Amino acid sequence: MRSTSLLLYALFLFVTTTFGQESYEYIIKTSTSFSKNSTDISALIQKSSSSKLQIRKTSPIGISTNLFLFEVDKPLSDIQINSLNQNNQILGCYPNLKVRARNTTPNDEFYSEQWNLAKIGAPQLWSVMTGGTNSQGKKIVVAVIDTDFDINHEDLLDNMFTNEGEIPGNGIDDDGNNFIDDFRGFDFNNESPTIIAEGSGHGTKVASVLGAIGNNETGITGLNWEVSILPLRISFLDEYINAQYYVKALRDKYNESNGAEGAFIVAINASLGFTDIPQDLIDEVSNTYDELGSSGILNVGSVPNSNVNIDTDPDITSAESDYLIAVTNTSFTDIKTTNAAYGLQNCDLGAPGGDNIRPILTLNNFNTTADNTGGTSFASPLVAGTIALLYDQESTYLDDETAENPSGTALLLKDIILSSVQPLESLEGKSTSGGRLDAFQSLLNLHQHFQVNMLDSEEDYIQELKIIKIFPSPSIASQEIKIIFAQDGFEALNYIIYEASGKTCKTGTVPVVPLTENQSMISLQDRLSSGVYFLKLFNAEMSVVTKIMII
């Protein structure tokens, strides 16, 4: 028995040491004259290394290339990689990089059931941004005005706003805004800086759609993984208006101090309404929205959960303000839900908020168990969240525009969102945009706007370049891209390729191949990984920007 045990133990050691070792893969690029024989490649690697390597295997990459893959039992040190690169027969040695999917999938417990996020292109967005800070490193804030919140919820707490100008609990109005100890939101109904979780948890549910912490293996994921949520509890119309001006004061202080004080609040979400509100008070609410808009804040409101026309049935989402976005509810099958209001003049777009047939998941008070729910209340925070995501840019262009013209930037983002919708027949003639929110397309269109407007204003572009065809489209990663375009003349063109975040990744000059009297072709051979890019072609007189999709 003892000998059998020893034999099994020895076999275990053999298996674990032989098959259980980690392996590390590297790619080398050799000179074009070097042999493609794997044995010769192994010998070259051993000869060039500063120390002996345990090479497990080598194999060529591709057809008729000078790239090879080799596998070793330990990671190469910088000294070993440098010694390999010093051999004139080796043009480069690189780790074999693992693919990263462009559609980012969070690891939150219930994410697989959150169909509403995939519907608006959130996974594609998350590969670029998750809604934390602007290019200046300032936290992007969305205020949520609602009836109750669990601000200490495990899946929300780290995304709850903190007023850095206030010292909590000292009984002093440290930041001079006439609110004492308003460190983490405010309860206007109880006139208290302490928000106690009570009631239906409606505010918690709305806040979770907007900004439940993403990729933390807990609960659900919000559209914004790292947004700052400012909770403001109300029960009556006067409190609603007071909460609006509270938000404006924080943003005004931010604007006036160039970000040193206050808060960078970009939107307010209000998934609520007031029964039988008269037109005079709607007009007052509209004036309030205009005043906040002048500071750079968009109001996003959910229309009533009934099949009424808000153009004729007064509601706070009927307010005639350019700085309001009124949102109705769309279903899993991409139609306006039966119990959701509409209005060709005042309802702007739809967003997937779920219904009785196919609800969405939200958080509950006190626990991370997902709750099935639905309604316009959970459509509007997706729009407010999209506004916050669009401010999350690496490029300084949007923040420069915001500093110079906050109200104009707010209107720009509203226009971008409404012009980027997915058209739906059920919203045609029942909303100003005729479609459902597409957050990813909003990002693409915003960057298209960037590139068109980043041209030097002193340049005199007298002739428009016109792109006729890009092929293949979508293009395959590392494949040559051909572009046919129309222009006068056949001089070489300069080009810049931007990532979706606005970051420049490729520049160069490319010769033009004449095809007809006024049509030409260029070929781009830059190696681009999968993703969305923007290409700018230009010379001293002409410029054009177009989108490139790489798969």
* Domain at 541, CATH number: 2.60.40.1930
Q: Are residues 543 and 408 in the same domain?
A: no
Q: Are residues 510 and 432 in the same domain?
A: no
- Residue 519 scores a pLDDT above 80: no
Q: Are residues 345 and 200 in the same domain?
A: yes
Could you tell me which residue, 8 or 324, shows the higher pLDDT? 324
CA 115 to CA 431: how far, in whole Å? Answer: 23
Query: Which one of 451, 466, 482 terminates a domain?
Result: 451
Query: Is 10 among the domain residues?
Result: no
Q: Which helix (H) or strand (E) holds 519?
A: strand 519-524
Asked if residue 98 lies in contact with residue 30, where contact means CB atoms within 8 angstroms, the answer is no
| Residue whose C-alpha is closest to residue 266's, from 228, 230, 300, 296 | 296
What sign results for the dihedral spanned by CA atoms 306, 308, 309, 314? negative
Task: Specify the DSSP class assigned to residue 180.
Answer: T
CA 180 to CA 249: how far, in whole Å? Answer: 14
Query: Is 40 among the domain residues?
Result: yes
Two structure tokens written together for 253: 């202080």
Choice among 1-10, 172-181, 249-258 with the minimum mean pLDDT: 1-10
Per-residue burial over 40-77, b if 16 or more Cβ lie within 10 Å, else e, is ebbebbeebbeeebebeebeeeeeeebebbbebeeebe
- Residue 345 scores a pLDDT above 50: yes
Banded pLDDT at 10 (limits 50, 70, 90) = very low
Query: Is 3 among the domain residues?
Result: no
Q: Give residue-wise pLDDT tens across range 209-252.
A: 999 999 999 999 999 999 999 999 999 999 999 999 999 999 99
Asked if residue 541 lies in contact with residue 494, where contact means CB atoms within 8 angstroms, the answer is no
Q: Are residues 460 and 384 in the same domain?
A: no
CA 446 vs CA 87, 136, 442: distances in Å = 47, 19, 6
Residues in the chain: 551
- Residue 103 scores a pLDDT above 60: no
Could you tell me which residue, 95 or 304, shows the higher pLDDT? 304
Q: Are residues 87 and 167 in the same domain?
A: no
The pLDDT assigned to 73 comes to 84
Q: Are residues 281 and 416 in the same domain?
A: yes
Query: Which one of 46, 70, 95 terminates a domain?
Result: 95
Q: Give residue-wise pLDDT tens across range 374-427.
A: 999 999 999 999 999 999 987 788 898 999 999 999 999 999 999 999 999 999
- Residue 481 scores a pLDDT above 90: no
Q: Are residues 74 and 175 in the same domain?
A: no
Query: Is 5 among the domain residues?
Result: no
Query: Which one of 48, 64, 95 terminates a domain?
Result: 95
Q: Give residue-wise pLDDT tens across range 230-241.
A: 999 999 999 999
- Residue 335 scores a pLDDT above 70: yes
Q: Are residues 65 and 117 in the same domain?
A: no
CA 231 to CA 271: how far, in whole Å? Answer: 13
Q: Give residue-wise pLDDT tens across range 430-456.
A: 999 999 999 999 988 887 777 655 443
| Residue whose C-alpha is closest to residue 334's, from 323, 320, 350 | 350
Q: Which helix (H) or strand (E) holds 10?
A: helix 2-19
Asked if residue 213 lies in contact with residue 158, where contact means CB atoms within 8 angstroms, the answer is yes
Q: Which CATH number fits the domain that encloses residue 214?
A: 3.40.50.200
Query: Is 204 among the domain residues?
Result: yes
**CB neighbours (10 Å) of residue 306?**
11
CA 60 to CA 67: how far, in whole Å? Answer: 6
The pLDDT assigned to 425 comes to 96
- Residue 331 scores a pLDDT above 50: yes
| Residue whose C-alpha is closest to residue 547's, from 528, 122, 395 | 528
Two structure tokens written together for 245: 């001006």
- Structural domain that includes position 79: 20-95
Q: Are residues 208 and 270 in the same domain?
A: yes
Q: Are residues 256 and 196 in the same domain?
A: yes
Q: Which helix (H) or strand (E) holds 421?
A: none
Query: Is 8 among the domain residues?
Result: no
Q: Are residues 174 and 299 in the same domain?
A: yes
CA 500 to CA 167: how far, in whole Å? Answer: 39
Query: Is 12 among the domain residues?
Result: no
Two structure tokens written together for 101: 């999917």
Query: Is 1 among the domain residues?
Result: no
Domain count, the chain: 3
Q: Are residues 270 and 385 in the same domain?
A: yes
- Residue 301 scores a pLDDT above 50: yes
